Structure formats: C-alpha cells, structure tokens
Chains A and B, each alone.
Chain A
Amino acid sequence: MTGLQLANLDDFLARRWEDVVELALQHLAAVAISLALATAIGVLIGLLVWDRPVPRSVSLTAAGIAITIPSLALLALLSPVLGLGWAPTIVSLVFYSLLPIVRNTVVGLREVPGHLVESARGMGMTPAAVLLRIQLPLAWPVIVTGIRVAAQLTVGIAAIAAYVAGPGLGVYIFRGLSSLGSVNALNFALTGTLCVVLLALLIDGAFVLITRYSTPRGLRA
C-alpha cells in the first residue's frame, strides 16, 4: 500500500509543482516578514533593556514564558481578534521569534568589553553614538545568531498557521491529515513536510552567508 502511494508521489508532484512552489514562496514570505518585524522589535527591546537589570529579566522571562505557549493554542486565541489568514500567522511568528532575538541582543550587548565602551566615551562619543557605532556592530554576530535561531523556529511554526487558514506549506500538511485514508493524503502530508524541511535547510544556508557578509570585516574569524 505504501509502495503504491509513494510511486504516485512523482505523478502527484508533477501535477502540482506550481502549487507547491506557490505555497513554499508564501511560507518563505511569512517567515521573512515575521523575522524582519521581530528583528526590528526584538533588537529595539534589547537595546532598551540590556543595561537595566529589572526590565532585562522581566522581558527575558516574559519572552521565555511566551515561547512555551503551544502554537496551535496561540493561533486559536489570535484568530477571534485578528481573523484568519496572514494576520494571525505573522503575529504569532513574530511572537515566537522575539525570545531568541531579544535574548541574543541582550547577551551580545553585554559581551562588548567594557574598556571599548569606556574608550569610546573617553573620546567624546555621545551615548547614542557609542550604542549605534560601537556596541551594536560588535554585538551583531550574536544578534544574527539569534535571528537564525528564530528563523528555524518559525519555519516549523509557520506550518501550523494553516490551522487559521494561514499561508504556506502547512496547507498541504493539514489537507493530508484531514483526509487520512484518501488516495493523496500521504502525498499531501509528505510533500508539505519535506518542503518545510528543505526550506529550513535553505534558510539556514542563507544565514551562513548573511552572517558572514553582515559581520564587520575586523570581527570575522
């Protein structure tokens, strides 16, 4: 039985590859948009709290707790407010991305050696200039690592978004799961799953390049 259905996978893909590419691109778009938003918000939160012990532990703890909320539950909670489709998808992905990004921003900024900050202040840089021109560039490799972790996390979670009629490859996975026993059930689920894994690998590969080229030359190993 399995043999028969896998033999059909070729045929299945041949008939639907345009559809698959479309879903994969949606999936990628959802992840990319969420990461961009989460990076902007997360780095900003990190910049605001890294040097203040109480806000820092509050935000890291909050983000830590947030990430334990099951994604299905979060989507179910969001959809009455935000409806279906892209909105709850993006919001939930941003939500899950924040922890690694905020945490790595805080860690990265804290790891900048104190004498470099003192040196910059001693030359008359304003606190904002010290933050933007010294601390942030030096913390950047650590922050990018946080974004990369967030990317891996959200590629997987984005598949669940199909539950609220969201975009992406989850559509195939859910279609397969909801039609178990039908001819193409396994093809749908398998195609969706494999494409998610493939996408995750591609994105991770992209991050190797992003990390390399966005790291200031003097800091590269």
Chain B
Amino acid sequence: MPDPTAGVGIELSDVTKRYPGQEHGAVEDFSLRVEPGELLMFVGPSGCGKTTTMKMINRIIEPTSGSITIDGEDVLSLDPNELRRHIGYVIQQIGLFPHMTIAENIATVPKLLGWSKARVADRVDELLRTVALDPGVFAHRYPKQLSGGQQQRVGVARALAADPPVMLMDEPFGATDPITRLRLQEEFRRLQADIGKTIIFVTHDFDEAVRLGDRIAVLSERSRIEQCDTPANILADPANEYVAGFIGRGAGLMRLALIPIGEVPLEAPDDSSAALGVQDSLRDALDLLVLTGGQRVNVTDESGSVAGSLTHAGISAALGAPRLPTGTAP
C-alpha cells in the first residue's frame, strides 16, 4: 500500500496562460507529467515562464486554458484554498510572517486544517528537528532573529508541516550565499531521499538543477520545453543548441560529479598513489589526479581495501570519450 503522504503524480496538459493585451501567452500549451516522488527541476532564464507555470499548479496564477491534475484529480475544479493546504509552497523570499514566532509560522497550515493543539505542537518539534534546528532554541524566536539559512530551513519546514504529497519550490535557495546554498541543497537532497515528495523546483541555476533533480525540464520563452530528461542524459546529449548553451561550459565536469567511481571499470592499483572510496564521484577522482599530478588514483571499496585504480583515460571513458591507448601520445 502506498504511503499516503508520499508523492503523487502531477499532469499538466496544454496549459496556457495569456495576459490580456499581450500577443503571446506567458505560457503556451505546456504539457508534462511528473511522476510520483519525483523531483523535477524547471530550469530556464528569467522571464521564460517557469515560475508562472509552477504557480498555476496551486492556482496562485489561474491558467487561461488547459488542465492540471494531481493524483488524477482536476485542480481547477477544487476550492483553491483547500487545494493549497495540501501543496507545500516555498518561495525565494521565504515569506516567513515576521509577527509570528517560528512555531506559529510552521503551525499555519496544520491550524488551517483544524489539527489539535497537541498534534500541532508535536509536529512543529518534529519538523524543526528534521531541518536541524533545536526546537528548544528556535520555536519561540521570531524570524528576524534567525540567519538567512535558518529562515530558509524554517520555510521548508513550514511547507512540509501538513505533510503535503506535493511541494512547489520557487528558487528556494536563491537568496542565500553560495556556501549556505550548497549546505541547504545537500540537506534538502537527504531530506527528499527520506520523504519522497513529488516536487517541482524552479531555478535558473543549472548547477543546482543537476545537483538536485531527478529530471530537468529545460525551458525557453513561453515555457517551451526544450528538453526534459535526467541530468546525466541532458549533459551527455543536449537536445539542441539552446540546451547546450544553457548548460554552458563544464558539462563534462558536471557529468563526472554524477557518476560514482564504483560504476566504472577499474584498472590494477599501483602502490604509490592516493586513494578514494567507491562512493566518491569521478569528479573527486579527477580532482585528486589534478592535485597530485599523478598518473592514477587508487580506489578502496567499502571495507577499506584497495579495489583498483583510475586513470585520466578511465575517467574520460566513463563519459563515452574515445579511449586513447596509454603511453602513445605524440
């Protein structure tokens, strides 16, 4: 039996948003299926309609035409307020209510759903711990007493409060500094591995999309889907110039970061080189090769014994690059 709070599928069919007096729609004939438990990234430049598309799912913006279903149910036929209570929503500015404590902020949706006081209090504690904030310290603070990173965690906790099967996230980590952002992304990835929500995550940062997404929809003007595939497939085989341009340079390095060393064939070890584990990525291996200037890097398995080694050529081969015979470079 499926977990009732795990993700459900979302289906958008021919969704269009047209504002009066504008020649083109902001979003035109957008169709996409999001699988249950999938983290789908919408990536595209500012103004491409990615946020508009996302906001039509919880009807913050009403579509002009088309249909949207969540778990087979037509969202446009539901009461919008009732609908939104079952969709987690995180925006870039976080939007914590400054006149309410952290606990009150997180309790917003559970209270709207009429939960008992005790249940709400338990849930607030549980969520604060989930996002690594001590309830004893933070529950009764006000948003302005928290750092940006802490506020962002509370924003995620608040969106998760009533355990919605679907989450919409609009550049949730966009306003944080790069170091905090990396940490939040890492935490979020671990969190999602546990909770398995169906998430639509809007970003303009392709690195972020690669780091977090199960699939990435690369969008252009009017929310046109240029390509929708796994990060590895998009990096390996961009559908067109637009996608390639959006990926920019460094596609090879981004792909390496997605491949664990354990997935590629290893060569015989040599005893002098530094070592990495099989769970590290090929990017880590390349990094170590560059840093040490060596020919190869040894790899250890889970038990810590040396399982083999990797060379530059081996790493390139993992990306499908032609493998040059070693030692014959001109």
Contact = CB atoms under 8 A, between A and B. Distances in A.
Interface of A: 113, 115-116, 118-126, 129, 134, 137-138, 216-219
A124 B97 contact: no
A69 B89 CA distance: 51
Contact of A138 (B81, B99, B109): B99
B109 A119 contact: no
Contacts of A219: 98-99
Given A121-B60, A218-B143, A218-B144, A126 B99 contact: no
A115 B55 CA distance: 13
B108 interface: yes
Given A218-B101, A218-B143, A219-B98, A124 B93 contact: no
Interface in B115-154: 142-144
A116 B112 contact: no
Which 9 pairs, one residue from A and one from B, show the smallest C-beta to C-beta distance? A119-B95, A218-B142, A124-B85, A216-B99, A124-B84, A122-B89, A115-B93, A124-B81, A218-B99
A119 B84 contact: no
A113 B96 CA distance: 11
**Interface bracket on B:** 20 to 34
A108 B314 CA distance: 64
A122 B112 CA distance: 12
A135 B142 CA distance: 17
Interface in B299-328: none
16 contacts: A118-B60, A119-B91, A120-B97, A122-B60, A122-B87, A122-B95, A123-B89, A123-B112, A124-B82, A124-B83, A125-B81, A126-B81, A137-B99, A138-B97, A217-B142, A218-B142
Contacts of B84: 121-124
B100 interface: yes
B165 to A, nearest CB: 14
Given A115-B91, A115-B93, A124 B99 contact: no
B58 interface: yes
Nearest to B80: A124
Nearest to A218: B142
Nearest to B159: A123
A120 B100 CA distance: 12
Nearest to A217: B142
Given A119-B95, A218-B142, 19 more contacts: A116-B97, A116-B98, A118-B60, A119-B93, A120-B95, A121-B84, A122-B58, A122-B168, A123-B85, A123-B89, A124-B83, A124-B112, A129-B112, A138-B97, A138-B99, A218-B101, A218-B143, A218-B144, A219-B98
Contacts of B98: 116, 138, 218-219
Interface in B43-77: 58, 60
Contacts of A120: 95, 97, 108
Contacts of A123: 84-85, 89, 108-109, 112, 158
B70 to A, nearest CB: 14
A122 B91 contact: yes
B45 to A, nearest CB: 21
A7 B301 CA distance: 103
A118 B99 contact: no
Contacts of A217: 99, 142
A124 B80 CA distance: 7
B155 to A, nearest CB: 9
Nearest to A141: B99
A125 B95 CA distance: 14
A129 B81 CA distance: 11
Contacts of B95: 115-116, 118-120, 122
